[in-house]
Amino acid sequence: MAKSKKILIPNVEAQPGVQGNWRVERFTVTPDGASLYNMRARASRHVVPGEYTRLTHYRDVIMSDTPAEKRDHSAFVRAARGDVLITGLGLGMCVTAVLAKRSVKRVHVVELSEDVIALTAQPLLDRYGDRLTIEHADAMKRVPADGEVWDAVWHDIWPTIAESNVRDMKALRAKYERTLRDEKSFYGAWCERTCVALVNRPYVSMRSLPSFGW
Ligand X SMILES: C[S@@+](CC[C@H](N)C(=O)[O-])C[C@H]1O[C@@H](n2cnc3c(N)ncnc32)[C@H](O)[C@@H]1O
Considering the rule CB under 6 A, would residue 112 count as an interface residue with ligand X? yes
Binder among 29, 85, 139, 172 for ligand X (CB under 6 A): 139
Residue 107: φ, ψ to 5°: -125, 135
90 vs 188, which CB is nearer to ligand X?
Answer: 90
Considering the rule CB under 6 A, would residue 84 count as an interface residue with ligand X? no
Contact between 134 and 105 (Cβ < 8 Å): no
Torsion over CA of 30, 31, 33 and 39, rounded to 10 degrees?
160
Binder among 24, 29, 84, 91 for ligand X (CB under 6 A): 91
Binder among 152, 157, 195, 198 for ligand X (CB under 6 A): 157
Q: What three-state secondary structure class fits 199?
A: helix
Binder among 62, 124, 132, 169 for ligand X (CB under 6 A): 62
CB 212, min distance to ligand X, A: 18
Count of residues binding ligand X (CB under 6 A)?
20
Q: How far is CA 71 from CA 54, 115, 167, in A?
A: 16, 26, 23
CB 12, min distance to ligand X, A: 7
Considering the rule CB under 6 A, would residue 87 count as an interface residue with ligand X? yes
HSE toward the beta carbon, residue 129, CA cutoff 13 A: 1
Touching ligand X, residues 167-196 (CB under 6 A):
none
46 vs 115, which CB is nearer to ligand X?
Answer: 115
Q: Helices 192-200 and 165-176 meet at what angle, rounded to 10?
A: 130
CB 3, min distance to ligand X, A: 26
Binder among 23, 47, 66, 111 for ligand X (CB under 6 A): 111
HSE toward the beta carbon, residue 83, CA cutoff 13 A: 9
Gap between the Cα atoms of 23 and 161, Å rounded: 21
Q: Which stretch binds ligand X (CB under 6 A): 98-106, 108-116, 169-177, 191-199?
A: 108-116
Question: Among residues 125, 119, 93, which one has the least CA distance to residue 17?
Answer: 119
Q: Which residues bind ligand X (CB under 6 A)?
A: 62-63, 87-94, 110-113, 116, 138-140, 156-157
